[in-house]
């Protein structure tokens, strides 16, 4: 069964008599593609399998085998099947609560640490390349752009354009520090969802912003994201690679210090944004009405969970129509005052 | 996942407090060299999830640095009573011991009080050794960034000495 169709390859669900359900990646020949070029891509698929094996880790998709059909026309990369799909669809759906985000990012950082410690660069870190196994654990996948051709810490220029660091565009090279940048872009998108991501209308807008400089300072944030989290992401997205988190280990140490309470669930799919958080039998709810851009309002209240006793209680709010900036400032102040540090 | 002991003796010393302080030393060279220094904190929030994170990071550190032996200071009863901090540190120590064994290393749980009282090491406590700059002269003093790391390194020395007594 076809589960994903990319430009250069297709991914199918398959059944292996030993492993059970597996994912099978097959390079597909493009229309009018030179047979030699197609053969080269098939060899690249074999190398992808070798890289996956080299970086083997519980947070990297496990490779089972690389097969070639008897007519030698196709190479098949057989890997672990991740039934939870990719984070690409979850960032498109909206923001992820910070506690879950922290767990996911820790797991991705552990996988990235294994990549770097095995003297490899990933060069394609993005939500769509983070898969979830049956238990919801994150696994770094798609090693198609992974390279071990690293000289003095640098490899040639390849990668997912919207997640390429500014120095990659400038010097046409990639490094561990450009992987850290891509990790930062991924973290931003998991936290906020893609509604605020400058690349939602296409990657070109992001590339323009990145190459202009000061990308991290131009990002919009959902008001419930604590300031420590913003600092963490901005550091990963610093224009100067020497001022980013130094390594995947540094990412992990920084993640350990980030606050995760309250763990707001944010529904950002409509003009009315709604946050909820449940504690001790009460639901804490914040509603931001953005229907009229010129006259917005917000209100925070608590109410008993279903089956619990008690009455709704208003906590805070805009007290009437306010501008977008006033609403955002009020909400940020409200959420910030509740962060457990 | 058993460490390759034929390559080198790579030791990891761990001080367990509210976080883990790790120092890894390679004894295949003379003098031995520091190959890693790291602090792992229990992340904020749910403590059980935090232990899973500590387990994952520590496991990776042991495996990726090809650690053969781990020295961990054992729990000691506090004369001032046992508080929540002591109980949490004891939990973390349990996670630490399990993880290092799980990752294929030989684990040496050291009674630091007994070690520092043993005349083979002198009359001072482990803390006094850690605080003494003369003791560290020529012993990784420049590489190790703080006293917690020195304590972890001292734990390795004590464990290695106890094996040769």
Tens digits of residue pLDDT in A139-184: 999 998 999 989 999 998 888 989 999 999 999 999 999 999 999 9
**A260, closest residue in chain B (CA to CA):** B45
> Which H helix or E strand runs over A263?
none
- Chosen for mutation from A119, A253, A256 (greatest number of chain B CBs closer than 10 Å) is A256
Q: Write the residue in B38, B41, B45 that is nearest to A99 by C-beta.
A: B45
**Distance of alpha carbon B96 from alpha carbon B51, whole angstroms:** 9
CB A264 within 8 A of CB A222: no
Give residue-wise pLDDT tens across range A259-314.
999 999 999 977 999 999 999 899 999 999 999 988 999 999 999 998 888 899 99
CB B89 within 8 A of CB B21: no
Which pLDDT does position B1 carry in this prediction?
A: 40
User: Across the interface, do A261 and B46 touch by the CB < 8 Å criterion?
Assistant: no
Confidence bin at A77 (pLDDT 50/70/90): very high
**Is the pLDDT at A340 greater than 90, yes or no?**
yes
Which pLDDT does position A3 carry in this prediction?
A: 65
Structure tokens at A15: 């059944």
- B10-164, what's its fold? Nucleotidyltransferase; domain 5 (3.30.420)
For domain A87-256, is the CATH number 1.10.443.10? no
User: Across the interface, do B43 and A258 touch by the CB < 8 Å criterion?
Assistant: yes
pTM: 0.92
Q: What residues have CB less than 8 Å from A120, skipping those under 6 apart? A: A51, A54, A55, A146, A147, A148, A150
Percent pLDDT > 90 in chain B is 48
Domain ranges (residues) in chain A: 2-80, 87-256, 265-338
Contacts 24+ apart (CB under 8 A), B124-128: B126/B73, B126/B151, B126/B154, B126/B155, B126/B158, B127/B151
**Is the pLDDT at A23 greater than 50, yes or no?**
yes
**Distance of alpha carbon B30 from alpha carbon B139, whole angstroms:** 12
**Is the pLDDT at A49 greater than 70, yes or no?**
yes
Q: How far is CA B95 from CA A95, A153, A221, A280, A282, in A?
A: 33, 35, 37, 30, 34
Chain A residue numbers with beta carbons less than 8 Å from the beta carbon of B37 are none
Which pLDDT does position A4 carry in this prediction?
A: 67
For range A121-145, the mean pLDDT: 96
In the predicted model, what is the mean pLDDT of chain B?
85
Q: Which member of A16, A34, A71, A124 is catalytic?
A: A124
User: Across the interface, do A102 and B42 touch by the CB < 8 Å criterion?
Assistant: no
**Strand partners for B36:** B24
Chain A residue numbers with beta carbons less than 8 Å from the beta carbon of B44 are 256-261, 340
**Which is nearest to A173 in space by CA: A182, A164, A162, A163?**
A164
**B39, closest residue in chain A (CA to CA):** A253
**ipTM confidence score:** 0.87
Query: What 3-state class would DSSP assign to B130?
Result: helix
Chain B residue numbers with beta carbons less than 8 Å from the beta carbon of A57 are 60
Chain B residue numbers with beta carbons less than 8 Å from the beta carbon of A249 are 38
**Is the pLDDT at B84 greater than 90, yes or no?**
no
Which pLDDT does position A97 carry in this prediction?
A: 98
Give residue-wise pLDDT tens across range B3-57.
444 445 999 999 998 899 999 999 998 888 999 999 999 999 999 999 999 999 9
Q: What residues have CB less than 8 Å from B156, skipping those under 6 apart? A: B11, B12, B13, B23, B25, B71
CATH code: domain A2-80 is 3.30.200.20
Number of alpha helices (DSSP H) and beta strands (DSSP E) in chain A: 9, 14
**Is the pLDDT at A20 greater than 90, yes or no?**
yes
- If you search the block for the tokens 């003369």, which residue do you land on? B134
User: Across the interface, do A110 and B42 touch by the CB < 8 Å criterion?
Assistant: no
């Amino acid at each position: 069964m076809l589960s994903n169709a990319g430009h250069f390859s297709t991914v199918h669900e398959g059944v292996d008599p030993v492993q059970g359900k597996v994912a099978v990646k097959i390079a597909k020949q493009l229309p009018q593609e030179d047979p030699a070029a197609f053969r080269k891509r098939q060899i690249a698929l074999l190398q992808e399998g070798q890289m996956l094996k080299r970086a083997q880790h519980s947070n990297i998709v496990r490779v089972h085998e690389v097969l070639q059909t008897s007519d030698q026309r196709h190479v098949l990369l057989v890997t672990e099947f991740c039934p939870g799909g990719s984070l690409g669809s979850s960032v498109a759906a909206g923001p992820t609560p910070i506690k879950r985000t922290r767990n996911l990012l820790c797991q991705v950082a552990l996988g990235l640490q294994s990549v770097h410690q095995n003297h490899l660069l990933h060069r394609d870190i993005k939500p769509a390349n983070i898969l979830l196994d049956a238990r919801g654990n994150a696994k770094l996948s798609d090693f198609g752009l992974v390279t071990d051709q690293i000289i003095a810490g640098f490899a040639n220029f390849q990668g997912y354009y919207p997640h390429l660091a500014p120095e990659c565009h400038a010097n046409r090279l990639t490094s561990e520090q450009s992987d850290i940048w891509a990790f930062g872009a991924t973290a931003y998108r998991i936290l906020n969802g893609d509604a605020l991501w400058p690349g939602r209308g296409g990657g070109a807008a992001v590339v323009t912003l990145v190459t202009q400089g000061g990308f991290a300072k131009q990002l919009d944030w959902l008001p419930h994201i604590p300031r420590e989290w913003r600092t963490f992401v901005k550091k990963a997205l610093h224009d100067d690679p020497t001022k980013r988190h130094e390594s995947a280990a540094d990412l992990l140490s920084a993640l350990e210090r980030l606050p995760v309470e309250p763990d707001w669930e944010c529904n950002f799919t409509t003009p009315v944004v709604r946050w909820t958080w449940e504690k001790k039998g009460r639901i804490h709810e914040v509603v931001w009405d953005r229907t009229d851009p010129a006259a917005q309002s917000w209100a925070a209240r608590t109410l008993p969970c279903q089956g619990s006793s008690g009455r709704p209680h208003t906590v805070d709010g805009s007290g009437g129509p306010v501008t977008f900036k006033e609403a955002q400032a009020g909400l940020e102040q409200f959420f910030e005052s509740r962060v457990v540090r | 996942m058993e460490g390759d002991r034929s390559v080198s003796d790579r030791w990891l010393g761990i001080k367990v407090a509210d976080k883990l302080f790790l120092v890894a030393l390679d004894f295949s060279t003379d003098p031995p060299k520091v190959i890693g220094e790291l602090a792992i904190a229990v992340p904020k929030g749910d403590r059980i999830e935090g232990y899973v994170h500590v387990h994952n990071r520590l496991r990776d550190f042991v495996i990726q640095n090809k650690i053969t032996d781990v020295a961990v200071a054992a729990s000691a009863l506090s004369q001032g009573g046992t508080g929540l901090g002591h109980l949490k540190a004891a939990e973390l120590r349990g996670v630490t011991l399990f993880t290092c064994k799980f990752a294929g290393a030989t684990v040496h749980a050291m009674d630091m009080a007994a070690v520092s009282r043993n005349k083979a090491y002198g009359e001072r406590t482990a803390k006094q050794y850690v605080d003494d700059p003369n003791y560290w002269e020529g012993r990784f003093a420049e590489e190790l960034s703080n006293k917690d790391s020195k304590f972890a390194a001292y734990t390795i020395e004590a464990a290695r000495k106890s094996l040769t007594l």
